[in-house]
Structure 1
Amino acid sequence: MDDPRILLTNDDGIDAAGLLALKRGLADVGSVTAVAPQTNMSGTGRALSLGRSRALSGELSIDVHEGDNGFSFDVPYTDHDNGYAVDGTPCDCVVGGHALDPAPDLVVSGCNPGANTGQYTVSRSGTVSAAMEGALLGTPSVAISMDTLGSRGDLTVDDFDRASRLTTTLVERAIDHQVFSGVDFLNVSIPDPDEPVRGVAVTRPDTRYGLEAVEGGESSFRIRAAKPDETGEEVDSRAVPTDRAALAQNFVAVSPFHLPTEPTRTEAVETVARELSAEFGRTQAVDPTPGSRGE
């Protein structure tokens, strides 16, 4: 793939330092167009905006236009020095970015400040969800995050320099070795820039749940996320480690994903379906006569 067209997005906003760092680095690989939310949309997962806006009263409204062939909604955007600033979610950006002419060859999402490790983050993270949306649209995609939780204050473009260089090289090698002929998207988490990189590990998402709720203020509760920690699982070439274990030991964690999710059919599910069909299924033929209720 010579001079690939790269759609760059994120969930932190069009002005985020991580996006600017990747835009600078990926320019050495192909032509880059940034289509990103105009404000921070972290944690939105695969949500679509559905025309959400706040009316003059301050009440949230959803402006969806229904038609014979489905529904539609408008997603405003403005030209920006860094690309296109979209008044919507990361997935809005990816869907809208595929309207570019020509369409993108690759989607890169990031670089997110904070690791996106663990099975529970895959569909919640706006960064990872943007890559998943690209894959569902048939475009190879990469999500890039960097473990910075609690390590520093405001991040600058220079703080993402190593992440940018690693992403650029990863994209080049993935194209050269035709990685995306068998993989739909990659979720990549990189150690803190103050930590050394011991290597790159192919990983699987940790299955532990990483959130907990505790008492907050009056009539509220606080949700806390755990930092990736040491699990005691040694990272080596003999087994596929979890992403959290790899990152805790200063490895770059690369989790490959293939879509779609395989449905799981079991005898118990089949039994419930048969019982519901017997109870709720229509046992009489439907009269096709106009106006008939089929009874």
Structure 2
Amino acid sequence: MALMAANPTILLTNDDGINAPGLATLRTELTAFGDVTVVAPESNQSGVGRARSEAAVVRDHPWGYGLVGTPADCVAYALRGLDTDFDIVVSGVNSGPNAGNYVVGRSGTVGAGIEAAFLGTPALAVSAYHSTDFFLSPPAEYDFGRPARIAARLISRAVDVGVYDDVDLLNVNAPVDAPNPPVVLTEPYHDYGQDVERLEVADRDTTELGVDAGELGDDEHVVRLRDRTWPGVVGWENPFPPTDEHRSRYPVGTDRRAMVDAAVSVSPLSVQHASPDSAALAEVVETLDTE
């Protein structure tokens, strides 16, 4: 890959919406060394992953365009619908971390980067967390400056030394409060669970779940599905406090351990769904009876 141009063309998007403070802060950092076009969702699209829409409304915005759709829609529109050859796609700064293998797969922030990589453009997704508060709520009360600066510096150096020759996407999680956080090369940690709760007849006021319980038949029931993406969390508490227990739970080199240590986690990702070698599967395929 060629070195980044002196004034690179940068596509900036996110999943928190075009008016999110993290995007505004990152735009300020990126415009210091590049030509930035914003194409971002008009409303919050957190947790949509790489979902795409069949059609989307696009509206002019002082920074570029607002799009009534998902982060992946924004990237697809910008890379194939605008007359601009973008050097890199940057997504963020997300309000809250995107760490752990399952969370990364659900993230709209990361989903934008994955869409970019499939379309042949290098990408970086950056998310912010607070080492004590963890979740940034409300976002307007936090300073996204450090994650934005870190992302800008990573972009420049990663492109210039050829990181994207081997990597499709960088997923970055950076603390907003640590004054001089270490930067750690990581991989997403596999840590996920699912709770399934059957709702009783007396609890069938399920409007919030998008279900009209009054129309249920005798052979139907409602279940509530809850992801357990942050282990042991009640409400908005920090799932990764800096304790010996949590340091022993998450191995060094994982993104979640980096957050326990209030570090910057940098995870290189690939969108190529590589096929692992499996002698057992090869035998099954070779001997499968299709009569």
Normalised-by-shorter TM-score class: 0.7 to 0.9
- 8 Å CA contact 2:128, 2:147 repeated in 1: yes
CA distance in structure 2 between the partners assigned to 1:243 and 1:160 by the alignment: 19
Q: Relative to 1, partners in 2 of residues 1:137 and 1:232: Cα closer, same or farther, differing over 3 Å?
A: same
- Aligned-residue Cα RMSD (Å) equals 2.5
1:250 aligns with 2:262: yes
1:232 is matched with which residue: 247, 252, 258?
247
Q: Which residue of 2 aligns with 1:293?
A: none
1:129 is matched with which residue: 103, 107, 111?
111
Unmatched tracts of structure 2, length 5 or more: 204-221, 231-238
Larger Rg: 1
1:167 is matched with which residue: 142, 145, 151?
151
Aligned-partner SS, 1:172: helix
Deviations 1:216-275 (A, max 9, x none): 97355344441345532599xxx9610100111011000012341211242332344345
Structure 1 residue 194, shift from structure 2 partner: 2.6
1:84 aligns with 2:99: no
1:28 aligns with 2:32: yes
Amino acid in the other structure paired with 1:251: A
- Give aligned pairs, total: 251
1:203 is matched with which residue: 183, 186, 208?
186
Aligned-partner SS, 2:60: strand
CA distance in structure 2 between the partners assigned to 1:133 and 1:20 by the alignment: 22
CA distance in structure 2 between the partners assigned to 1:78 and 1:161 by the alignment: 28
Q: Which residue of 2 aligns with 1:141?
A: 123
Structure 1 residue 28, shift from structure 2 partner: 1.1
- 8 Å CA contact 2:198, 2:223 repeated in 1: yes
Quick check: which one's helix share is greater?
Answer: 2
Unmatched tracts of structure 1, length 5 or more: 51-73, 280-295
Amino acid in the other structure paired with 2:247: G
Q: Which residue of 2 aligns with 1:287?
A: none
Q: Which residue of 1 aligns with 2:173?
A: 189
Which piece of structure 1 moves more, 269-278 or 135-144?
A: 269-278
- 8 Å CA contact 1:196, 1:250 repeated in 2: no
Q: Pairwise mapping of residues 41-60 of structure 1 onto structure 2 (< 5 A)? A: 41-50=45-54
Q: Under a length normalisation based on structure 1, what TM-score does the superposition of the two structures give? A: 0.77
Q: Relative to 1, partners in 2 of residues 1:171 and 1:271: Cα closer, same or farther, differing over 3 Å?
A: same
Aligned-partner SS, 1:97: helix
Q: Which residue of 1 aligns with 2:217?
A: none
CA distance in structure 1 between the partners assigned to 2:156 and 2:248 by the alignment: 30
Q: Under a length normalisation based on structure 2, what TM-score does the superposition of the two structures give? A: 0.78
- 8 Å CA contact 1:29, 1:172 repeated in 2: no
- 8 Å CA contact 2:117, 2:169 repeated in 1: yes
Structure 1 residue 161, shift from structure 2 partner: 1.1
CA distance in structure 1 between the partners assigned to 2:97 and 2:289 by the alignment: 45
Matched residues, percent identical?
Answer: 41
CA distance in structure 2 between the partners assigned to 1:81 and 1:251 by the alignment: 35
Deviations 1:138-171 (A, max 9, x none): 1110000011465553223861111111111111
Structure 1 residue 13, shift from structure 2 partner: 0.8
Amino acid in the other structure paired with 1:171: I
Q: Relative to 1, partners in 2 of residues 1:153 and 1:129: Cα closer, same or farther, differing over 3 Å?
A: closer
Which piece of structure 1 moves more, 28-37 or 261-270?
A: 261-270
